[in-house]
Amino acid sequence: MATSSSGIQQLYESVVADLVPYYMDAVLLPNQAIILNSVNISGSAGDTVRFPLTNSYTKAVDVAEGGQISTASDFAPTSANITVQKRGIGTDINAEALEDGGLALVENAVLTRLSGGLAEATDEAGFLNANSSMTVHADTGEGSANATTHRVSFVMSPEAMAYATKREPSVKMWYDPDFDKHVVRGTVRNGFATLRSNFGQRITANKTIGSATANLVAISKGVSNLRSVNAPVGANGSYIAVIDPAFEFAIQEQIALAGGTTISSLSDIGNRALLNGLVGQAAGCVFFRSNNLPNA
């Protein structure tokens, strides 16, 4: 950082110290309430994580006394791999902006831009992985594949996906004398994998507010599909439903009429992204809203 400005030095130190907390407040998916399996490989060699998976077992059979147990349930583990991806975002601070806006305003703007951009890219990557992998169960929503008009929401078990991070959000800053500005760049390295594709359910709905026809019936059917394969629920006994604003509008009245309850122990599940996104609880799911869901 080629500058002796004490204000810029203070800005740099503040951004470095606060970027991770701001990011963790803004990101939704890398949270134990939604993804139970996560690992941090910072400081270790390599960019790939392998999550071991056990194969399904067979049901025990009746055996006569002294009879042979002929039905075998072989242990043949498989794995799901995550290769971390670098994601980056930048913002430039003109000297005039710092002079006229003040240090506190600039600091908040920089942190919001960097953390929000990295969080959005991370969540989008996770939901794109889920969209391409969770195809075992038939879509319980409107069934449209029109990317222009429809978006995909999800019902899933906390054990459906895995997350790995190699680099927590970090920032670099330097001074460009040609343009009299300070250049700020933020990066993160992380990735996702779907461990059990049958532990997740895709639900498409029209993304225009007031046009979605998918409702709690689609959610309930998705929950039933997960229960049918013994997909584990979270610590609160529910699955996770992540829906977009249009789907939220379509089912909000139904949630109210279905006896939705207050979520207990919010502090146990959450950052601001979880708390701000919280919609309610019904049909065996805790609902969260996100603007980072993929198009159909």
Question: Over 229-271, what HEC string results?
Answer: CCCCCCCCCCEEEEECHHHHHHHHHHHHHCCCCCCCCHHHHCC
Q: How far apart are CA 141 and CA 225, in angstroms?
A: 13
32, 240 contact by CB (below 8 A): no
Q: List all residues 6 or more positions away from 132 whose beta carbon is below 8 Å from its beta carbon.
A: none
Q: What is the predicted pLDDT for the residue at 272?
A: 59
Lookup result for tokens 């680099």: 167
Q: What is the predicted pLDDT for the residue at 261?
A: 45
Calculate what percentage of the chain has a pLDDT beyond 70.
86
What number is the average pLDDT over the span 262-274?
A: 50
What number is the average pLDDT over the span 208-224?
A: 89
Q: What is the predicted pLDDT for the residue at 41?
A: 92
Q: How far apart are CA 1 and CA 12, in angstroms?
A: 9
What number is the average pLDDT over the span 59-77?
A: 77
Residue 6 confidence (pLDDT) above 50 = yes
Q: What's the token pair of residue 51?
A: 């999550």
Helix, strand or coil, per DSSP, at residue 51: strand
Helix, strand or coil, per DSSP, at residue 55: coil
283, 243 contact by CB (below 8 A): no
33, 236 contact by CB (below 8 A): no
Q: List all residues 6 or more positions away from 17 whose beta carbon is below 8 Å from its beta carbon.
A: none
pLDDT band at 54 (very low <50, low <70, confident <90, very high): confident
Q: What is the predicted pLDDT for the residue at 251?
A: 81
In this structure, the number of other CB atoms found within 10 A of the CB of residue 90 comes to: 15
29, 240 contact by CB (below 8 A): no
Q: Which of 50-59, 119-128, 144-153, 285-294 has the lowest mean pLDDT?
A: 50-59
Q: What is the predicted pLDDT for the residue at 256?
A: 52
Q: What's the token pair of residue 50?
A: 């392998």
In this structure, the number of other CB atoms found within 10 A of the CB of residue 245 comes to: 16
Q: How far apart are CA 197 and CA 181, in angstroms?
A: 48
pLDDT band at 276 (very low <50, low <70, confident <90, very high): low
In order of their start, the domains of the chain are: 6-50+81-289 (3.30.2400.20)
- Identify the H or E element spanning 153: strand 150-156
What number is the average pLDDT over the span 225-250?
A: 92
Q: What is the predicted pLDDT for the residue at 133?
A: 95
Q: What is the predicted pLDDT for the residue at 260?
A: 46
Give this prediction's pTM.
0.84
Higher pLDDT, 146 or 282: 146
Find, among 296, 273, 276, 254, the residue nearest to 285 by Cα: 254
Find, among 228, 245, 226, 257, the residue nearest to 287 by Cα: 245
Q: What is the predicted pLDDT for the residue at 250?
A: 85
pLDDT digit string (tens) for 9-35? 888 888 899 999 989 889 999 888 899
Angle at 278 between CA 171 and CA 154, to 5 degrees: 85
Residue 115 confidence (pLDDT) above 90 = yes
